[in-house]
Amino acid sequence: MNLPLFLSMFIFTAFRALSEEASRPSVVKVGAIFTSKSINGRVSKVAIEAAEQDVNSDMSVLGGTKLSVTFHDSNYSGFLGILGALTFMGSDTVAIIGPQNAVMAHALSHLANELHVPLLSFTALDPTLASLQYPFFLQTAPNDHFQMTAIADMVSYFGWSKVVALFSDDDQSRNGVTALADKLVERRCKISYKAALPPDPRATPNDVAEQLSKIRMRECRVIVLLTYSATGLLVFDVAKELGMMERGYVWIASTWLSTVLDSNSPLSPRIANSIQGALTLRPHTPDSERKRAFVARWDQLSNGTVGLNPYGLYAYDTVWLIARALKRLLDQGGKISFSNNTSFTGVQGGTINLGALRRFDGGKQLLSNILETNMIGLTGPIGFPDRSALRPAFEIINVIGNGEFKQIGYWSNYSGLSVVPPEVLYIKEPVRSIANQHLDTVVWPGGTTITPRGWVFRDNGRQLLIGVPNRVSYKNFVSQVNGTNIVQGYCIDVFLAAIKLLPYTVPYRFLLFGDGHKNPSYTELVNKITIGEFDAVVGDITIVTNRTKIVDFTQPYIESGLVVVTPVKKLNSIAWAFLRPFTPLTWAIIASFFLFVGTVVWILEHRVNDEFRGPPRQQIITILWFSFSTMFFAHRENTMSTLGKMVMLIWLFVVLILTSSYTASLTSILTIRHLSSPITGIDTLITSNEPIGFQVGSFAENYLSKELDIPQFRLVALGSPNEYAKALENGTVAAVVDERPYIELFLSDHCMFAVRGQEFTKSGWGFAFPKGSPIAVDMSTAILNLSENGELQRIHNRWLSKKGCALHGSDIQSEQLPLESFWGLFVICAIVCLVSLIIYFWKMIHEFSKHFPRVSEPSEHASSRSERILNFLAFIDEKEDESRKRLKRKRNEMLSNGNGIQDELRTKGTEILDVPNGRHNGETRLR
């Protein structure tokens, strides 16, 4: 390379570098909006200043450009926060860290959209701020959507079904409650009550006491506290005074409590005592060398004024995030420039200088660089897939007393609850099943390690008002003791036995429902729960669909189902009773098959078996004897042919099935009391157009009319077992439809009636409670225990034991065995017989054709066919050995006749084609 060219290239490169350096700004301004008096505001200020210093001291980041972060104190005021943002956006600020809360974030996001200034916040974590409505707002820490998912998983893990949400009435907490409600519903839980407090820090002790008093009067004892440090500590202080930090309560606080524990250590004895037993969440940041080094620097950076919490780490990483995005912007040739916003042209701002608000020309590119960031910070890997933080995770903290706390587990969006750090689980397949969710032991309020059940009875132990049907019939189930308010019966004893198994005391009082003259409507009784008149209903309450829509039922304690009862007559024994096992058609088919199979076996055995030969009369007798003797396996004749043995094998199997079925059916007919009635079940009852009886108050009336479309005029209400009997005896009703437990008790005293057909509904009886009542679940568990230990059966025997004739009350009718029960056997047998005959005749024709020569004279064609048929019949009628001898002799005669025919044909001038080697095989070929 020559010298002039080298010098020109050097001068060009130097000039370009100087021009690029001249185009880089000396200072890039970034704003930060926080409340300096808050914990997060104090921690964030220290962390941001440290990050600013570290960025400016690292020349590989921004080179000669200095990052300048300016702070603005919003002092808990949304108005002051907006003024600070306007000040920053009027002074060529490229990005703003903050604001600290969601109230300002919603307002400032609209301004950021106009001026293209990115807003990056790690504390304004309202889930709704992640929407596409706010493209220039980015949350650099996991938002509350993930925190609410973690709380919902905790609620489900501990087995609670309801929670109370106590929250500050601002955007972030209010939207957090909405997200929590959605996540709880996914886990079949719900928020039973919402209590709102004035926005932080304006809540007063009276405000808090008023809401806590309302919560204390409710049954739910799981309280989720979504607020900030000032209000949160006040809530715990007042709750302690009201006795709401005692055993039985559960408190789950959002991440504000962990920031208090991390940044305000040691806590004052008053605060430490008031939060004992509470659970809280802390954003999880994986351990690393850089994190440990920063933690070691913290006391020097903060001068011991405040402790470090995870949001300080997010603040530090946010500054570096902006710095790296700015570096890419400058390396890509971008410029830090601002221009007037045409949207504000002509807008009269009064004393506000809207013209000073200028749009950041590189705002979109800077935002794009931020979203494309892939770096490792103090908080771990940093990136924003779908505009949300990577791998959101939380640590679950339990305050155990004196301001001390222990970590009982982790929650991650990847694997749910675990005692293993999320970093270990990231390398495994995600498993979110309940069986794989684990947490360490928790010390709950009151110092207990027993998980609270999460609810108590309302009104400080007010007695449950339990509705009981005042029955006038079937009093074995539920009845009132004469002259007293005492109730007794099978259902009552089951309830009392179950309630004794509950791990807590349940105060209750029975209240009778009904006028005592007729059975009450059970639908009306269940509806009393929905209007608050009863807290529960105990009795013979059937669990049906319409009722489950308005109340919760326990596990059924007795099976039930609708059955049909009719009057019956005993079948008289007759001389021909032995024919009853089979229907007439079945008998006819059986007889036909005996003859058919006997004939088939005779055909197959006739040529080879001497036992199947003889005069025609003797052979007919042999066929009949052989056929019907197989019924008793008493046949003397042995089968010799392979086909005959195959047919006999199948037929004897069919006979075995038929005789076994006949024996079983006949035994039943002769030994069991049989009943006869024109009504054989619900199907014949529906088509009979006869009146149908039902029990007053039962759901059977609605089922028959609505589900089975039986006209109302056919339904007759009956109030007692005696009315059942009278109506059935005098023909007022053709049948009674009622539930099996009632019918079993009825039939124990009335032996002249019986159940016809099968149950046509499947249900059970249970105790009814209001929707979402936790006691319904506990009672179900108790009923299962009663069933397992046998107590449920003992109660049943004590109240519902059957009398002597009860065994005759069930439908024991023995139906005749129809042809459909055996048609498969008959089809198989018929196929085997036909196939055997086809094989046999094919074999006979082949053998006959092989040994019997054909006569080819046309004039003798008809006589030859007749002769061949007769010869074939004679062939299959003869014994196999004799037939072979005769056919050989006949063949020789025909061959000799064939030679004479050849001479005669030659005389007539007919050309004869000789078979090679002189072999004619009985045939003469002509041309």
As a whole number, mean pLDDT of residues 347-372 equals 76
Tell me, what's the pLDDT at 880? Answer: 59
pLDDT over 70 (residue 723):
yes
pLDDT at 554 over 80: yes
The whole-number average pLDDT for the span 755-780 is 89
Lowest-pLDDT choice from 315-324, 593-602, 855-864:
855-864
CB 349 within 8 A of CB 122: no
What integer pLDDT is reported at residue 861 of this predicted model?
Answer: 54
Helix (H, G, I), strand (E, B) or coil at 648: helix
Q: Is 542 helix (H, G, I), strand (E, B) or coil?
A: strand
Two tokens, residue 783: 């009923």
Residue 357 has pLDDT above 70, yes or no: yes
Q: Strands, E, within 287-443: which ranges?
A: 338-340, 358-360, 375-377, 380-382, 393-401, 404-412, 416-418
Counting Cβ atoms within 10 Å, is residue 379 exposed (0-12), middle (13-18) or buried (19+)?
buried
List Cβ neighbours of 424 (8 Å cut-off, separation of 6 or more).
none
- Is residue 811 pLDDT above 70, yes or no? no
At 575 the pLDDT is 65
Q: What pLDDT shows up at residue 567?
A: 86
Q: Please give the full DSSP string across 862-893, using - where no structure is assigned.
A: HHHHHHHHHHHHHHHHS-HHHHHHHHHHHHHH
Is the CB of residue 512 less than 8 Å from the CB of residue 468? yes
Residue 692, CB half-sphere, CA atoms under 13 Å: how many?
31
Q: Which residue has 């179900």 as its token pair?
A: 780
Question: What's the average model confidence in pLDDT over 459-464?
Answer: 69
pLDDT at 637 (0 to 100): 59
pLDDT at res. 921 = 41
Token pair, residue 16, equals 């370009």
Alpha carbons 880 and 638: distance in angstroms, whole number: 17
Mean pLDDT (whole number) for 701-723: 91
Q: How many residues are there in the chain?
A: 927
Mean pLDDT of 891-899: 58
Q: How confident is the model at residue 806 (pLDDT cuts 50, 70, 90)?
A: very low
Please check the confidence at residue 571 and state whether its pLDDT lies above 80: no
Report which secondary-structure segment, H or E, holds 53. helix 39-57
204: helix, strand or coil: coil
Closest CA to 562 of 549, 546, 550, 544: 544
Longest Cα pair distance anywhere in the chain, in angstroms?
Answer: 146
Residue type, 766: G
| Phi and psi based region of residue 772 (left: phi greater than 0; alpha: psi -120 to 50; beta: remaining) | left
What CATH architecture applies to the domain 27-141+289-341+355-382? 3-Layer(aba) Sandwich (3.40)
> Which pLDDT band, with edges at 50, 70 and 90, does 279 fall under?
very high
CATH code for the part of the protein at 144-286+392-436: 3.40.50.2300
For residue 783, give the 3-state DSSP assignment: helix
Higher pLDDT, 435 or 902: 435
Q: What is the DSSP letter of 918?
A: G
How confident is the model at residue 552, as a pLDDT? Answer: 93
How many other C-beta atoms can be found within 10 angstroms of the C-beta atom of residue 245?
A: 20
What pTM did the predictor assign?
Answer: 0.67
Residue 509 burial (10 A CB sphere; 0-12, 13-18, 19+) = exposed
**Two tokens, residue 439:** 């947490």
Looking at residues 623-633, what average pLDDT do you find? 68
Name the band, by pLDDT with cuts 50, 70 and 90, for residue 867.
low
**22 pLDDT higher than 80:** no
- What per-residue confidence (pLDDT) applies to 185? 93
% of the chain with per-residue pLDDT over 70: 80
Distance between terminal CA atoms of the chain? 110
The reported pLDDT for the residue numbered 529 is 94
Lowest mean pLDDT among 108-122, 518-532, 745-759: 745-759
> Does the structure show a pLDDT above 70 at 860?
no
Residue 392 scores a pLDDT above 90: yes
Q: Output 155 or 621, whichever has higher pLDDT.
A: 155
Model pLDDT, residue 264: 86
CB 639 within 8 A of CB 601: yes
Numbered ranges of CATH 3.40.50.2300 in the chain: 27-141+289-341+355-382, 144-286+392-436
* Confidence band, pLDDT 50/70/90 cuts, at residue 412: very high
Residues 691-720 have a mean pLDDT of 90
Q: What is the pLDDT of residues 643-680, one digit of tens each?
A: 777 877 787 788 888 888 878 777 766 665 555 567 88
Say how far apart CA 283 and CA 741 lie, in whole Å.
58
Q: What gap in Å lies between CA 169 and CA 530, rounded to an integer?
A: 31
Q: What is the mean pLDDT of the chain?
A: 82
- Say which CATH superfamily domain 464-560 falls into: Periplasmic binding protein-like II (3.40.190.10)
Could you give the C-alpha distances from 590 to 170, 197, 466, 600, in angstroms and in order?
Answer: 87, 88, 65, 15
Question: 731: how many CB neighbours lie within 10 A of its CB?
Answer: 10
User: What is the C-alpha to C-alpha distance for residues 98 and 90, in angstroms, rounded to an integer?
Assistant: 17
Range with the poorest average pLDDT among 265-269, 784-788, 883-887: 883-887
Query: Could you write out the DSSP letters of every residue in 821-850?
Result: GTHHHHHHHHHHHHHHHHHHHHHHHHHHHH
> For the ranges 121-130, 149-158, 185-194, 663-672, which has the lowest average pLDDT?
663-672
CATH value of 565-570+676-762 in 1.20.120.80, 3.40.190.10, 3.40.630.30, 3.90.1150.10: 3.40.190.10
Give me the pLDDT at residue 581, please. Answer: 78
pLDDT at residue 372 is higher than 60: yes
pLDDT of amino acid 777: 87
Q: Is the pLDDT of residue 909 over 50?
A: no
| Residue scoring higher pLDDT (807 or 370) | 370
- pLDDT value at residue 301: 93
What is the DSSP code (8-state) at residue 612?
Answer: G
CATH 3.40.190.10-classified regions of the chain: 464-560, 565-570+676-762
How much is the pLDDT for 601? 77
Phi, psi dihedrals of residue 610, rounded to the nearest 5°: -65, -25
| pLDDT (average), residues 721-749 | 90
Work out the average pLDDT over 272-299. Answer: 94
